[in-house]
Structure 1
Amino acid sequence: MEKPVDTEAAILESAVALLRERTFEDITYLDLAEAAAVSERTIYRRFPTRSHLLEALARWIESQQFPLPQIRTPEEFRAAVRERFRAYERAPGCAFVAARGASLSPTMESAPTPLARAVFAMLTTAAPTLNSRDTQRIAATAQYFASPIFWARMRTGFDMNADETFEAFDRAMSRAMAIVPQVSWAS
């Protein structure tokens, strides 16, 4: 007995394959349907607008192309961000789609991103006595500076490579974490 096909995953995998050849704007629903071996109508049923497709694709890329390890400490978070920036550099088309998708207003009801969950887990472990307002401020700072949006802006705006972008991330996080005296950020 054949295993059932996950149509949505097949569509998103096909979109990633097409991203290796062209930009998101240059991928039509017909191209995607042909690559995924489904009808164009199936694509429209799953993703009624390109915004729906972009948001789903960005989340899928984040989870499949740039997965995060379990993060409990600032050192683990720093190492994970450095590796993510290097992974973005190896797959810039996917990183730019992840950045664009993350900048959209949500079209679907969705859970917090893996990055958001990792940041809150790290802060809960590293600074359990931190008040909720400061936890949210640091989490928002960490999420932005560790995001594909930040990497894309540094790459396109300042021609920075992954390691240079990580240095900018590290400086920003050192300042943000300065309010938590019991946590050492920089190595």
Structure 2
Amino acid sequence: MTRDRIVRALVELLEDDEIDQISMAALARAANVAERTIFRHFPTRADLISAAGEWISANIFRLIPSSGPEDLSNGFRQACAQFDKHPRLAHAIAVSRVGRTARSEFRKQFIELSRDVLAPLTSGLSEKERRRAEAVVTYLDNVLAWHTLREEFGMSGQEVADTIQWAMDLVFDHLRRTAPDAGRTGES
């Protein structure tokens, strides 16, 4: 319980401050524990950041199951709604060191999920083309896309979701037109 309270307090503080601006004293006050208690549960700052990243991925910005290509863009739309509910936290996840840590395992899982979901569209492609298609789709479906389009183009989360869905649909349509086996699942 204490460990979870410390992680939750850090996540709440990340809603308002950058990770480097959060002192252990401030975290201890927010979690209502002594600083030494934090270090007992998290011997290093990296351990604390890693635990916060895992908690964020499990409780706020979850991996959304997908069974087909269109589910990926719908999942991104759902993610954008969550990013809009927690914009400072999404910003931290997108651009900070804690964000890279938080995204690391999540992105590995997401890439595997995307690869499986895209397989019906990419199975007939060369290795290079398959890898390129997977890379583009997983790059588009990313908190960094939400952050960049909001910051650089002033888009709302809804506009970001619409834009990413449009781009993904272009990729999916191209794959359906050009991949020899696209869309033919279960055939030999």
TM-score range, shorter chain: 0.7 to 0.9
CA distance in 2: counterparts of 1:180 and 1:42, whole angstroms: 56
1:82 CA drift (Å): 0.6
Partners of 1:61 and 1:94 within 8 A in 2: no
Partners of 2:7 and 2:52 within 8 A in 1: yes
User: Which structure has greater helix proportion?
Assistant: 2
Aligned residue number for residue 36 of structure 1: 31
Q: Determine which of 133, 137, 151 is the counterpart of 2:128.
A: 133
Q: Determine which of 60, 63, 67 is the counterpart of 1:65.
A: 60
Is 1:165 matched with 2:139?
Answer: no
Aligned residue number for residue 15 of structure 1: 10
Q: Secondary structure of the equivalent of 2:175?
A: coil
Aligned residue number for residue 179 of structure 1: 175
Kindly tell me: are residues 39 and 86 of structure 1, through their superposed partners in 2, closer, same or farther at Cα, counting changes over 3 Å?
same
List gaps (5 residues or longer) in structure 2: 184-188
Kindly tell me: are residues 13 and 136 of structure 1, through their superposed partners in 2, closer, same or farther at Cα, counting changes over 3 Å?
farther
Kindly tell me: are residues 166 and 104 of structure 1, through their superposed partners in 2, closer, same or farther at Cα, counting changes over 3 Å?
closer
Kindly tell me: are residues 165 and 105 of structure 1, through their superposed partners in 2, closer, same or farther at Cα, counting changes over 3 Å?
closer
Partners of 1:89 and 1:162 within 8 A in 2: yes
1:115 CA drift (Å): 2.4
Kindly tell me: are residues 104 and 171 of structure 1, through their superposed partners in 2, closer, same or farther at Cα, counting changes over 3 Å?
same
Aligned residue number for residue 117 of structure 1: 112
1:123 CA drift (Å): 1.5
1:21 CA drift (Å): 4.1
Is 1:96 matched with 2:128?
Answer: no
1:143 CA drift (Å): 2.1
CA distance in 2: counterparts of 1:99 and 1:47, whole angstroms: 25
List gaps (5 residues or longer) in structure 1: none
Q: Determine which of 127, 130, 140 is the counterpart of 1:145.
A: 140
Q: Secondary structure of the equivalent of 2:166?
A: helix
Residue identity in the other structure for 1:147? N
- Let me know the Cα RMSD of the aligned residues: 3.1
Structure with higher Rg: it is 2
TM-score scaled by structure 1? Answer: 0.74
CA distance in 2: counterparts of 1:150 and 1:102, whole angstroms: 17
1:89 CA drift (Å): 0.8
Kindly tell me: are residues 104 and 98 of structure 1, through their superposed partners in 2, closer, same or farther at Cα, counting changes over 3 Å?
closer
